Structure 1
Amino acid sequence: MQKLWTTIGGVGVAAALMATATLTNTSAFAQQRTDVGTTASPLTQSPTPALPLPNAGTGQGYFFNLRPVGEKIGKSLADYGIYVTGRTFNEEFSNVSGGLKRGSLYEGFTTLGFDLDMNRIAGIQGGSVHFLANDLNGLPFLPYSGSNYANNKVFSGPAASRLNELSYEQSFFDHRFDVRVGRVPTGTEFDTTDLYCEFVFSLCAAPSAFNGVRGYPSYLTSSWGLVTQTQLPKNFFFNIAAYEDEPSLATTGHYNWPGPDWGFDRARGVTIPAQFGYRTSYKNDPYPTTIDIGALYDTGDYSDPLQNSSNRNRGLFGGTAKVDHGKSEMWMQAQKVVYRPDMTSERGITLFVDANLITTGNPIIDDAFYGGFVWRGPFAERPNDKFNVSVGYILLNSDYTNFVNSALQKRGFGATSHGAETTVEVNYGLALAPGVTFKPFLDYIVNPDQVNVAVPSPNNTHVLFVGAAISVFFPETLGLPKLGF
């Protein structure tokens, strides 16, 4: 408990310092969700431009502009209540130092779908239907890095085409209360912000510590879920949800397309997250602030990090992992714009911090902490570029560390694992066109966690990746309208 309250105090001080300039001055109710539907998820949400996107020409530092290409057809479809959405993200990166093996690999992730405005289609005010499919291809980087929790942005298990979402959403009370139900990805409304998807490793769509504790499936597929979001007065909000845990969706079968796993017979529990926070935007605050605190409880089954089914050390005696039941965590986030070189655009520096603390159960992660900054428009002539830096620290469960040390001891090694993993990412998002970003990046991992590595190595002390990614958000790039309030 002393560790818990010390951490809460530290993050609380950071959050208070970030919020001081705005909490006392902002009181008007503000609706923060400018987009609804599939585009509201950090998985598919494009970076907000520092200036309104140009409809034609270049300007704003862009090298080309394809927005006129889809504008006419997009408006025609919107007249019928149909909004096409999607994105593609592709990355090539190489392990140039450390890790389990050197080499280069490619991964790609593409989504395509639509949002339906049920008010225009059927006269249901505030109603909408969302469909999103994705395709993941390429190789996982765990065999190269030996790090499971410093996962890359498109982490989702085997390469496959998946149903990412099929849901119905209904807003009430002038969009102050929102309910979303159906096949939905787990947790993209919790412990995350649009800043996290500026990074390739560890954070998007939510921090690794959130994904390591919540139940299956992966956030790039979906299971049955119910999500409610409430906008409260004076910029406060409250979200709560329930997601079915269905591990088989992450690894086998038809990857969430309609079939036998749409029943509840394969469910292994429920993940229930809740989050309360305060959030301002450039519409009502010159230096926007977000602060929130949340918690989740997962009722599902999971493998014990140390003991086998006979309650013995699995690292020494082998055997099948003991099955544990139930786990929970809490998190605290804060972010604030702290610097703006001019007040006519959204150029500036935003700081962020995040802490995840395990409260019950015995998952592999114990606690985790993240922080960094996003510098939008570092150069006046390039207002939509972004320079991004993040640092993460993941403390592993001592039982898991004991398991790895036992496995090393059994193989005759005297070395022991470190028990904590540190990650650093530096990247630069070069805005090529509206919705199109080229992003060279560098990721450095200290003491890779080696979770799910069949034969842990005592010599795997670091790994350095260099690479580049390119992303295209179809609505912004092609001038397609998005479903919004």
Structure 2
Amino acid sequence: MRRSDVRTTIPFALFAGLLALSGSPAYAQETTAVAQSEKSQNAAPATSAPSEGSPAAPASEQPSISSSVPALRDFKQALLDRGFNLQLNYTGEVFGNPTGGVRQSGIYENLLELAIDGDLQRIAGPTGASFHVNSYQVSGSGLSTCCVFNQLTISSIEARASTWLFEAWFEQKLFADMVSIRIGQLAADSEFFISDLDSFYLNATFGWPNILAADLPSSGPNYPLATPGVRLKITPNDQTTLLAAIFNGDPSGAGFTGLQEVLDPSGVNFRLRDPPLLIGEVQYKYNQDKNSAGLAGTAKLGAWYHFGKFNDQYYSTNGVSLANPSSSGVPLTHAGDYGVYGIINQMLWRLPGDDPRKGVGVFAFVSAAPSDRNAADFYVHGAINFMGLWDKRPDDAFGVAAAYSPVSPAVSALDAQSAYFARAALPIRNYEMALEVSYQAPILPGWLIQPDFQYIFHPRYGAIDPINPALGRIRDAAVFGLHTAIKF
């Protein structure tokens, strides 16, 4: 069997094995691909493992289309009773840019995810132990890649068409669940850099901020590429969480070439020899209980450090601009790279009732990194969400978000130097900005549709159109889309 055939077969063979565990082969013929793309915990476009509670929690705790189909509900419950939580999720999206970008077109992309969580206490007896595996099959092409050529990727499921292994880890909880350790194939965006409210949006930068994608080798450990790592989580009380993790620092080995999905086309490189990436985060939650007098909110502070070597964005090894003809042509290198970030989620108004998350909420994310060795040294995004305000559609949500991602001053200065020495009117890159307006409407439990509009300002930071240079900069793009997601 060819290697590509093996990669495609693994998720579905695993699914077939779990069908046998259910003890009811008839369900194999009745079960179809069902799922919801939740970007759960803003990690990947579909679901990843729940960070709280048992991975084999009752099916009723998460919206699922299986609740509307008795045969599917019974099938899933049979697996849950044996300690397995099976999730089969489908996400489909249509996007088009009638104006702007490099070319105007429309695309359809879709993602099928298989995820399995196992409660090892139910399965085999060890207390506090669990595992998680999920894989994706991606089809279609993304609008950012084919048409707009922008940096703030329009869709969070956009990836090279392939079958991907994402996360595969073992977790052990200790000291009455106050401490937990994960080890295996991990993604940072499963638990770090997450706002409780930004999973509503479709643009990928609201799940993995563009400053990280620009500044970390292979864009960092995020969808679709996880990497070997170890994560420690400490929860001393209900309000406070401490997270720390170490990852292999270059998931694919592509560095900053942009070829990470080419060099690791299925997520199975399992690299261990690259300089590590260390991330730490402190989280504080308040007024989370339905009986709290105040409005719910969360504050997070974090930092990351990469132990690799990073090229200067402006200077060569002989101390002059890389654009200067007298330059050595070899960038000055720096030992290590780092960044800091902060996140705030805050409800502004709470709908009367039992759910403290319904009402009007805002969130903001801000991050900074050194300007000499990074393509991006500052980034900010934020949004306002309106959740469950219409009594006839109590689970609908509406929101408006914006992200601003400037290039570092060193990059702009190098562009200016390049124009000077070329004696040409070359563009100076400055920033890219994305505005997103979205409405999410559940059709059934576990099935939703989401009309979406995005406007991309200064695609690729205001660079020249690479297909038609005579047109000047890539034009601002208006993007219309429709997202649907089904969750089993």
Q: Which of the five TM-score ranges fits, normalised by the shorter chain?
A: 0.7 to 0.9
Q: 1:335 to 1:165 in 2, by over 3 A?
A: same
Distance change >3 Å, CA 395–CA 254, structure 1 → 2: closer
Q: Aligned partners of 1:472 and 1:63: how far apart in 2? A: 7
CA contact (8 A) 1:417 1:458 kept: no
State the secondary structure of the residue aligned to 1:330: strand
Displacement of 1:110 in angstroms is 2.4
Could you tell me which amino acid in structure 1 is paired with residue 480 of structure 2? V
Alignment partner of 2:479 out of 454, 459, 465: 465
One-letter code of the match for 1:285?
Answer: S
The whole-number CA distance in structure 2 between the counterparts of 1:409 and 1:146 is: 26
Q: Structure 2: how far apart are the matches of 1:149 and 1:169?
A: 33
Matched, 1:364 2:367: no
- One of 252, 266, 270 as aligned partner of 1:262: 270
Asked if 1 retains the 8 angstrom alpha-carbon contact of 2:76 and 2:86, the reply is yes
Aligned partners of 1:85 and 1:114 also within 8 Å: yes
2:149 partner amino acid: G
Matched residue, 1:275:
281
Contact 1:39-1:85 at 8 Å conserved across structures: no
Residue number in structure 1 paired with 2:305: 297
Alignment of 1:226-265 (within 5 A): 226-233=230-237, 235-248=239-252, 250-253=260-263, 255=265, 261-262=269-270, 264-265=272-273
Q: 1:211 to 1:78 in 2, by over 3 A?
A: same
Q: Quick one: distance in 2 between partners of 1:155 and 1:452?
A: 22
5 Å-filtered alignment, 1:114-153, equals 114-140=116-142, 141-153=144-156
- For the 8 Å contact 1:371–1:392, the answer to whether it is kept is yes
| TM-superposed deviation, 1:245 | 1.7
2:436 to 425, 446, 450: 425
Is the partner of 1:449 in helix, strand or coil? Answer: helix
Specify every segment of 5 or more residues in structure 1 that has no aligned partner in the other structure, as ranges: 1-37, 475-485
- Larger mean CA deviation between 84-93 and 365-374 belongs to 84-93
Residues 80-118 of structure 1, C-alpha deviations (whole Å, 9 max, x = no match)? 211102422221111122222221123222221211111
Opposite residue 341 of structure 2, the aligned amino acid is W
1:112 — aligned with what?
114
Which of 151, 167, 170 lines up with 2:169 in the alignment? 167
From the superposition, tell whether residues 465 and 219 of structure 1 become closer, same or farther in structure 2 (CA, over 3 Å). Answer: same
Q: Mean Cα displacement is larger for which, 448-457 or 367-376?
A: 448-457
Q: Does 1:330 align with 2:340?
A: yes
Q: 1:257 to 1:467 in 2, by over 3 A?
A: closer
Decide which moves more: 445-454 or 341-350: 445-454
1:469/1:313 CA distance change after superposition, 3 Å: farther
Residue 281 of structure 2 aligns to a residue in which SS?
strand
Match of 2:302, SS state, is strand
Distance (Å, rounded) in 2 between the aligned partners of 1:344 and 1:104: 42
Give the secondary-structure state (helix, strand or coil) at the position aligned to 1:75. helix
- Asked if 2 retains the 8 angstrom alpha-carbon contact of 1:385 and 1:429, the reply is yes
Given the superposition, is the C-alpha separation of residues 40 and 284 from structure 1 closer, same or farther in structure 2, using an over 3 Å criterion? farther
Please give the per-residue CA displacement for 1:57-80, whole angstroms capped at 9, x wherever unaligned.
xxx9x9997353421111111222
Measure the CA separation in 1 of the matches of 2:438 and 2:40: 24
| 1:408 to partner: Cα distance | 5.6
| Alpha-carbon contact 2:227-2:271 (below 8 Å) kept | no
Aligned counterpart for 1:85 among listed residues 87, 90, 102: 87
CA distance in 2, matches of 1:361, 1:42: 29
User: Do 2:456 and 2:476's aligned partners in 1 also have CA atoms closer than 8 Å?
Assistant: yes
Q: Which has the higher contact order (CA 8 A, sep 6+)?
A: 1
CA distance in 1 between counterparts of 2:389 and 2:264 reads 45
Q: How many Å separate the matches in 2 of 1:451 and 1:299?
A: 31
Aligned equivalent of 2:4: none
Alignment check: 8 A CA contact 1:408 1:458 kept: no
The answer for the alignment partner of 1:479 in structure 2 is none
Q: 1:330 is aligned with what amino acid?
A: V
User: Contact 2:232–2:245 (CA<8 Å) still a contact in 1?
Assistant: yes
TM-score by length of 1: 0.77
Deviation at 1:222, TM superposition (A): 1.3
- Please give the secondary structure, in 2, of the residue aligned with 1:206: coil
1:402 counterpart letter in structure 2: A
Tell me the alpha carbon deviations over residues 463-485 of structure 1, each in whole angstroms, 9 at most, x when there is no partner: 211111112222xxxxxxxxxxx
Gap change, CA 1:283 and 1:68, over 3 Å in 2: farther
Q: 1:100 to 1:255 in 2, by over 3 A?
A: closer
State the SS of the aligned residue for 1:251.
helix
**Residues in 2 aligned to 1:378 and 1:434: alpha-carbon distance in whole angstroms:** 18
C-alpha distance 420-450 of structure 1, shift in aligned 2 (>3 A) = closer
| Distance (Å, rounded) in 2 between the aligned partners of 1:308 and 1:314 | 5
Could you tell me how far apart the structure 2 residues matched to 1:323 and 1:391 are? 34
Worse-matched range after superposition: 114-123 or 452-461 = 452-461
Post-superposition offset of 1:396:
1.1
After superposition, the Cα gap between the structure-2 partners of 1:255 and 1:175, relative to the gap in structure 1 and judged at 3 Å, is: farther
Query: What are the equivalent positions in structure 2 for 1:23-422 lying under 5 Å apart?
Result: 42-43=43-44, 44-45=46-47, 66-140=68-142, 141-156=144-159, 158-216=160-218, 217-220=220-223, 221-233=225-237, 235-248=239-252, 250-253=260-263, 255=265, 261-262=269-270, 264-265=272-273, 267=274, 269-280=275-286, 281-283=288-290, 285=292, 287-306=295-314, 313-314=321-322, 324-345=334-355, 346-359=357-370, 362-406=373-417, 413-414=424-425, 416-417=427-428, 419-422=430-433
Residue type at the aligned position of 1:338: L
C-alpha contact 1:171 1:178 (8 A) present in aligned 2? yes
> How far apart are 1:171 and its partner, in Å?
0.9
With the length of structure 2 as denominator, give the TM-score of the two structures: 0.77
> Helix, strand or coil for the counterpart of 1:203?
helix
- For the pair 1:447 / 2:458, whether they are aligned, the reply is yes
Identity across the alignment (%) = 18
Structure 2 unaligned spans of 5+? 1-38, 51-57, 254-259
**CA distance in 2 between partners of 1:168 and 1:257 (Å):** 18
The Cα of 1:142 is off from its aligned counterpart by: 3.8
- Output the CA distance in 1 between the equivalents of 2:389 and 2:110: 28
Distance 1:206 1:247 in 2: 15
